[in-house]
């Protein structure tokens, strides 16, 4: 909050902002605990954890992370899959589906990420996810191979190995999903799309980027 005020020319300390919030009975919304969404693959291939909880990248398209979460609506569940570039924390590919099939989740979101951030020859991209069957199936592994992408997976049941993607979902749900009761799947899709494209990827400040927005970070 203090950083956002500073960006429009109002310089105040975090302590002062905290005092004002307390006086007006305002507080941040607490994040929920980790919830498991995908199931580990039984028949697919499990890749070695090459990321090893090092969530920093020195350039674009050096490391991408991905995960899947569920979104509840009165018409049933939706599944949101995201691909995040660790360099600038931008959601570069995402998909919302009514099924957990790989073609609708992992494959669709990675395909969009590759369109939004085309890889250069011999770029050396590492793609990290959990051990869900959507990431361990032959079709997804083939897509990685076609684009010469190295695969990495979290250890079984260890959400900390994919902390950036899981933290993104917590942020999304606290700031958006838990504040809404979606009557239809269409309304949920439009709401999430607007959050991603018009706020998260443009206006929201990220502590990992020195409290800059993604656009400010890219324009440095």
Confidence label for 117 from pLDDT (cuts 50, 70 and 90): very high
Residue 9 confidence (pLDDT) = 58
What is the mean predicted confidence (pLDDT) over 84-92?
A: 98
- Rounded to whole angstroms, the Cα distance separating 204 from 216 reads 10
Query: What percentage of the chain carries pLDDT values higher than 90?
Result: 76
Mean pLDDT within 200-214: 96
CA–CA separation, 62 and 78 (whole Å): 30
Q: What is the pLDDT of residue 123?
A: 82
Q: What would the two tokens of residue 24 be?
A: 């007006």
Element (H, E) at 127: strand 126-129
34, pLDDT greater than 50: no
DSSP assigned state of 116 = H
Say if strands 63-73 and 126-129 run parallel, antiparallel, or are unpaired: parallel
Is residue 56 a contact partner of residue 84, using CB atoms and an 8 Å limit? Answer: no
The hierarchical CATH code for the domain 63-218 is 3.30.420.10
Whether residue 121 is predicted with pLDDT greater than 90 in this model: the reply is no
Range list for CATH 3.30.420.10 in the chain: 63-218
């Amino acid at each position: 909050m203090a950083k956002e005020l500073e960006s429009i020319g109002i310089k105040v300390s975090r302590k002062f902002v905290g005092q004002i919030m307390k006086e007006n009975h305002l507080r941040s919304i607490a994040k929920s605990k980790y919830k498991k969404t995908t199931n580990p693959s039984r028949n697919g291939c499990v890749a070695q954890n090459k990321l090893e909880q090092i969530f920093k990248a020195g350039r674009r398209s050096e490391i991408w992370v991905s995960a899947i979460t569920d979104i509840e609506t009165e018409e049933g569940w939706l599944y949101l899959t995201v691909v995040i570039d660790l360099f600038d924390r931008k959601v570069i590919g995402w998909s919302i589906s009514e099924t957990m099939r790989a073609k609708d989740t992992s494959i669709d979101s990675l395909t969009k990420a590759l369109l939004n951030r085309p890889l250069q020859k011999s770029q050396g991209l590492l793609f990290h996810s959990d051990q869900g069957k959507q990431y361990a199936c032959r079709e997804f592994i083939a897509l990685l191979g076609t684009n010469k992408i190295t695969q990495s997976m979290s250890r079984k049941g260890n959400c900390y190995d994919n902390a950036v993607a899981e933290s993104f979902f917590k942020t999304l749900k606290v700031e958006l999903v838990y504040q809404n009761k979606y009557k239809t799947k269409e309304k949920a899709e439009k709401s999430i799309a607007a959050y991603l494209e018009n706020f998260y990827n443009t206006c929201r400040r990220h502590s990992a980027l020195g409290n800059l927005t993604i656009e400010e970070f890219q324009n440095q």
